[in-house]
Structure 1
Amino acid sequence: MPSTSRRNLLKLALAAAAIPAVPGLLRAAPEPRGFAPAPGDWRSFELRTRVRLAPQGPAQIWLPVPSAQSDYQRSLDDSVTGNASEAAFVTDPASGARMLHARFDASVAEPTVELVSRIQTRNRTVDWSRTSEVQEDPAVLEAALKGSSFKPLDGVVLDRAREITQGATTDREKIAAIYAWIVTNCHRNLDTPGCGPGDIQATLTSAGLGGKCADLNGLFVGLARAAGVPARDIYGVRVAPSAFGYKQLGANSPDVTGAQHCRAEVWLAGHGWVAMDPADVLKVMRAETDRWIKDPADPLVAPVNAALFGNWEGNWVAYNTASDVSLPGANGAPALPFLMYPQGLNAQGRLDELDAKAFSYEMTAQEV
């Protein structure tokens, strides 16, 4: 990439931090009219996941549980009902991901389980003009610099990270360059199933820089790590409409069965963990209108591009930041690259988490 182009990308991304926040939220905007999440009150949600399996012998279910405790989310409590032979909340020791694990004996006529989680969320914002002596556990930062099965940090990933960040002297400049490169060069592929597999090497090569949030934000995280900046994906689900009228940036009905979305964050000295979501910028560009918008400076896209470098709306619930997740009791099944969807296993094998009707699960969210 020519040095002039790199400088332009860097300027574009750094400009995201300079746009002032608009106080208050537009609770019922019929059309997009700017996008500027601002500090606000906590909102309370009830997230409900119901599973009803056909009687097909012994079965197991694993449901991700919201477990983030942070300045943007409070995970309050979880409850479970149903006819499981055994049910327990468990934590994957390697990744820290919490989940509900339910087992059903073959004698259970209609396996049923319902998980209800109560969560509070609020907008997440950054003030680039202020810094503090925020600290983090060195082990956490070290983990956020390591590769994983779908995020190798060598080869084409390392080469691309070096190319993008050439000339950047600070971590913030590196992240700004990577964010701008993703928005400028990648695209949302509407044909990608679910949130995408999250295989960032494939995203850079065989997938032609296209994919969905697990691919695009996953690539952002991988490039950041390869550039030496701690970063991690956060896997979750949208639970409410966008307050700014963007249909693609929220859940637009109580049925959130297919509303999974992963975001990202980076660790920057003086600011701590900072929100990032270039994948949602690309979602607006590709799907907010019938026209595929390819210019991030387009009036519809520009405020989203600016705001999602450091901020996000509190209309989304985080599950975990885990990768390479082993499901307890899965009888040696390969680890999952991430845990964001319900998982199931019966005598016939793994259930398809992206086919909710065949799997027989539904998810609903309600603001309370």
Structure 2
Amino acid sequence: MMHATRRSFLKLGAAAGFASAVPFGLRAEEVPRYAPTASGWRRFELSTTLTPPAGQGATKVWLPLPDLGTDWQRTIDTRWTGNATSAAIVTDPATGTRLFAAGFDAGEAAPSLTLISTVETRNRTIDWSARTPATEDPAVLSAALAPSGLKPLDGVVRDTARQITGGATTDVDKVRALYDWIVANCHREPTVAGCGTGDIAAVLTAAGHGGKCADLNGLFVGLARASGVPARDIYGVRVAPSAFGYKQLGGNPEKLSGAQHCRAEVWLEDHGWVAMDPADVLKVMRQERPDWIRDRADPLIAPVDAALFGNWEGNWVGFNTANDLTLPGDDAGRPLPFLMYPQGVNAAGRLDELAADAFAYAITAREA
């Protein structure tokens, strides 16, 4: 089996009509052009090490697994080391999502566990001019049209979807209108904790429609479902820098505890599942440069805006597509809106998934 070598940053010369407005701090010849194309497989060893607090009674932990099995991602191996007294891959019966669960005795002085998954990924691309009819399990499509706890499909979500897609005649037209509306009317809000809560009605009713990826791509998914187009979030983590030089579209493989990212996809009869990521367009607009770029035609934004409607880069590993997931063995039985971060509970209560240093956990990746 052949594997793609580590990508280096690409700095491409400005194309025709592309150099009229040069981004802040860059010469014209350094303007990056984000354009994922069909690629070979890349292999990553993704490691999550947990050292939860000791002296707080018995501890249970749950970790998301890269368990998608698609034509753009495949898991080769999963293993673990540590002093947990129990450890197993378990399944949430309601969603079918598999995850890793472990437990530590109350007397363990230094609880520790490392979960290692070997995963292969590749760029995801689409040829919009090619008609390639696809089939899918009707139960999967039905789930991708259903509401969830934080994705209601009535009220303001239904009304907004109708306003946006009122003139659309095909599912592609609907998706295009929704993607454009998100990018034009929402914004990345850096002060939101983690990846956001995913409460799409709250995003729609808030001034400026701000949020992070779970909010913004979640809103895109909810609006698509309310428009009759099957759609779903995919929760995962960035594992390597972007090959195109965009710092906001990649992760530092030595420290990925803050690199979680939610993406989206829609089902289109002539194309199957299609990649979508309007939230990353908004992230680049807000945070790639010191100034907030509000113009989609800006030469730093335009290629990202165009590419993420149907394509994405294979420097990201997806975990699952579940909403309203219950952690098997969690005595509280409290459903999670999504599973993207390690989870834990002890006698003192729920461990804070967003406080990696206090939890404590570290996520790293190594490209083979």
Name the TM-score, length of structure 2 as normaliser: 0.92
C-alpha distance in structure 2 between counterparts of 1:199 and 1:54, whole Å: 30
Amino acid at match of 1:317: V
C-alpha distance in structure 2 between counterparts of 1:365 and 1:248, whole Å: 17
Provide Cα deviations, 1:302-356, integer angstroms capped at 9, x if missing partner.
Answer: 0000000000000000000000010011113320000000000000100000000
C-alpha distance in structure 2 between counterparts of 1:254 and 1:29, whole Å: 21
Amino acid at match of 1:321: T
RMSD (Å), alpha carbons: 1.4
Amino acid at match of 1:35: Y
Matches of residues 123-202 of structure 1 in structure 2 within 5 Å? 123-202=123-202
C-alpha distance in structure 2 between counterparts of 1:279 and 1:192, whole Å: 14
- SS of the residue 2:168 aligns to: coil
C-alpha distance in structure 2 between counterparts of 1:32 and 1:311, whole Å: 20
Counterpart of 2:105? Answer: 105
Q: 1:284 to 1:264 in 2, by over 3 A?
A: same
C-alpha distance in structure 2 between counterparts of 1:329 and 1:26, whole Å: 41
- SS of the residue 1:362 aligns to: strand
Counterpart of 2:270? Answer: 270
Cα pair 2:242 2:315 within 8 Å, conserved: yes
- SS of the residue 2:338 aligns to: coil
Provide Cα deviations, 1:62-98, integer angstroms capped at 9, x if missing partner.
Answer: 0001001111101111001111111111111111222
- SS of the residue 1:325 aligns to: coil
Cα pair 1:225 1:231 within 8 Å, conserved: yes
Q: 1:347 to 1:26 in 2, by over 3 A?
A: closer
C-alpha distance in structure 1 between counterparts of 2:134 and 2:109, whole Å: 53
Could you tell me which runs of 5 or more consecutive residues in structure 2 were left unpaired when the two chains were aligned.
Answer: 12-29
Shift of 1:25: 10
Q: 1:57 to 1:25 in 2, by over 3 A?
A: closer
Counterpart of 2:329? Answer: 329
Shift of 1:297: 1.1
C-alpha distance in structure 2 between counterparts of 1:121 and 1:232, whole Å: 19
Counterpart of 1:347? Answer: 347
Matches of residues 1-12 of structure 1 in structure 2 within 5 Å? none
Cα pair 1:239 1:317 within 8 Å, conserved: yes
Provide Cα deviations, 1:239-268, integer angstroms capped at 9, x if missing partner.
Answer: 000000000000134211110001000000
Cα pair 1:25 1:37 within 8 Å, conserved: no
Counterpart of 1:29? Answer: 10
- SS of the residue 2:44 aligns to: strand
- SS of the residue 1:267 aligns to: strand
C-alpha distance in structure 2 between counterparts of 1:85 and 1:247, whole Å: 40
Shift of 1:134: 1.1
Amino acid at match of 2:40: D
C-alpha distance in structure 2 between counterparts of 1:184 and 1:102, whole Å: 44
- SS of the residue 1:118 aligns to: strand
How many percent of aligned residue pairs carry the same amino acid?
63
C-alpha distance in structure 1 between counterparts of 2:185 and 2:330, whole Å: 39
Cα pair 1:242 1:249 within 8 Å, conserved: yes
Counterpart of 1:41? Answer: 40
- SS of the residue 1:120 aligns to: strand
Amino acid at match of 2:180: A
Q: 1:74 to 1:26 in 2, by over 3 A?
A: closer
Provide Cα deviations, 1:186-234, integer angstroms capped at 9, x if missing partner.
Answer: 0000100000000000000136400000000000000000000000000
Shift of 1:180: 0.1
Shift of 1:131: 1.1
Cα pair 2:57 2:106 within 8 Å, conserved: yes
Instruction: Tell me if 1:246 matches 2:237.
Output: no
Name the TM-score, length of structure 1 as normaliser: 0.92
* Runs of 4+ with >4 A deviation: none
Counterpart of 1:121? Answer: 121
* Worse overlay, 273-282 or 101-110: 101-110
- SS of the residue 1:345 aligns to: strand
Cα pair 1:25 1:243 within 8 Å, conserved: no
- SS of the residue 1:203 aligns to: helix
Could you tell me which runs of 5 or more consecutive residues in structure 1 were left unpaired when the two chains were aligned.
Answer: 1-23
C-alpha distance in structure 2 between counterparts of 1:338 and 1:109, whole Å: 31
What count of residue pairs does the alignment treat as equivalent? 345
C-alpha distance in structure 1 between counterparts of 2:332 and 2:359, whole Å: 21
C-alpha distance in structure 1 between counterparts of 2:73 and 2:195, whole Å: 22
Matches of residues 44-59 of structure 1 in structure 2 within 5 Å? 44-55=43-54, 56-59=56-59
C-alpha distance in structure 2 between counterparts of 1:215 and 1:32, whole Å: 29
Cα pair 2:59 2:103 within 8 Å, conserved: yes
- SS of the residue 1:141 aligns to: helix
